[in-house]
Amino acid sequence: MSESIAPVGQTVVSPTTISRQALNQEALVDRMATDFYENSLRHSQALRVQKATAQAYLAMGEEDRAQFREQRRAAWRVMSEAQRQSLRNTKTPRYLLLTEAQKQPFRNIALDQLTASGARAIDPSQGGI
């Protein structure tokens, strides 16, 4: 049986413990990134898209508005129910559906919040929350 020898007063950390801690940290980062994306960013982005569409629509003349509406209706009519449902879901996109590359900026934000610089930002003694 092989035993790890550590200097007195020091704890030996096994590779299994380190990998478990890394997985736990990754899970925490993803939970924080999901929360930010789905509960903060997504709603503000949806409002910006809706506002831009509304402004473009209002800038159109009456004939262009009617044509815009008819084009949308025609496109909707030719879609399958699955396509319609997928468009409904784009109004509330989920973090889970993002690609790994799309998730990375949100993970970076979460990691920043977990680091000392992020912790100082919410420390009451530092003028944070």
Of residues 51 and 58, which shows the higher confidence score?
58
User: Is residue 13 predicted with pLDDT exceeding 60?
Assistant: no
Give one DSSP letter per residue of 74-94, joined into a string: HHHHHS-HHHHHHHHHHTS--
Contacts of 37 (CB under 8 A, 6+ apart): 95, 98, 106
Q: Which of 109, 110, 106, 80 is nearest to 93 (CA)?
A: 106
Q: What tokens does 98 get?
A: 């993002």
Least confident of 20-24, 55-59, 93-97, 112-116: 20-24
- Share above pLDDT 70 across residues of the chain, in percent, rounded to a whole number: 67
Q: Is pLDDT at 128 greater than 50 in this prediction?
A: no
Residue whose structure tokens are 């934000």: 109
Q: What is the pLDDT, as a whole number, of residue 74?
A: 94
Question: Can you give the pTM of this predicted structure?
Answer: 0.44
Look at residue 50 and tell me whether its pLDDT is greater than 90. no
pLDDT digits (tens, 9 = 90+) for 92-125: 667 877 788 888 998 998 888 888 665 545 544 5
Quick one: 78 exposed, middle or buried, by C-beta within 10 A (0-12, 13-18, 19+)? exposed
Q: Is the pLDDT of residue 63 over 90?
A: yes
Q: How far apart are CA 89 and CA 92, in angstroms?
A: 5
Lowest mean pLDDT among 8-12, 38-42, 85-89, 100-104: 8-12
